[in-house]
Structure 1
Amino acid sequence: MTLRFMGIDPATDGDECPTAWVDEETADIVMQGWLADEATTAECLATGKIPETEAVVRIPARMVPIIRKACDAAEAAELRRAAG
């Protein structure tokens, strides 16, 4: 696995902040975020279960440009993968 760093929360204090990466091999976007509170998780559960291998996280809106950058990088990685 080769993770390419995309960015960190611009309001970071340098510790435990939401971050985005792209896995260059799979083109997956990897996100670190704040674990959602019980009320948010309960609301998400209204649309379906959350498997034990998954989690609900919050990513601040100020990270939208970083997420867009990650999406573009993931799309490019997927095109490279598909091309062989």
Structure 2
Amino acid sequence: MTLRFIGIDPNTGGNGSPTVWVDPETDDLVIQGWRAGRQTEKECAGFEIQGHATGIPAHEAVVRIPARMASILREACDVAERGELR
């Protein structure tokens, strides 16, 4: 698998930077972000959505992406939606 790099936090200092890629085989977004923190995880885990169990499964994570990366996320969504990597 060779991910397509879309963008990185423009304010990165080079250490632990939120980053976005698209998987060309599945068009999935792959996101590296900051750990959301216990309070945010607790809030997300307790959020009730009809038809879904509460909690965060062991194979999932809650991450934060800075708002300044909105355009990068939009670009990744557009690339994935168009399937242009296939």
TM over 0.5: yes
Calculate percent identity across the aligned residue pairs: 59
Write the distance in 1 (CA, Å) between the matches of 2:85 and 2:59: 28
**Larger fraction in helix:** 1
Write the distance in 2 (CA, Å) between the matches of 1:18 and 1:63: 9
Pairing 1:10–2:16 present = no
2:58 to 52, 59, 73: 52
Pairing 1:70–2:76 present = yes
Between the two proteins, the alignment pairs up a number of residues equal to 80
TM-score by length of 2: 0.87
TM-score by length of 1: 0.89
Q: What residue is the counterpart of 2:50 in the other structure?
A: none
Q: Give how far 1:2 is off.
A: 2.1
Gapped regions of structure 2 (runs ≥ 5): 48-53
Q: Structure 1 segments of 4 or more deviating over 4 A?
A: none
Pairing 1:41–2:44 present = no
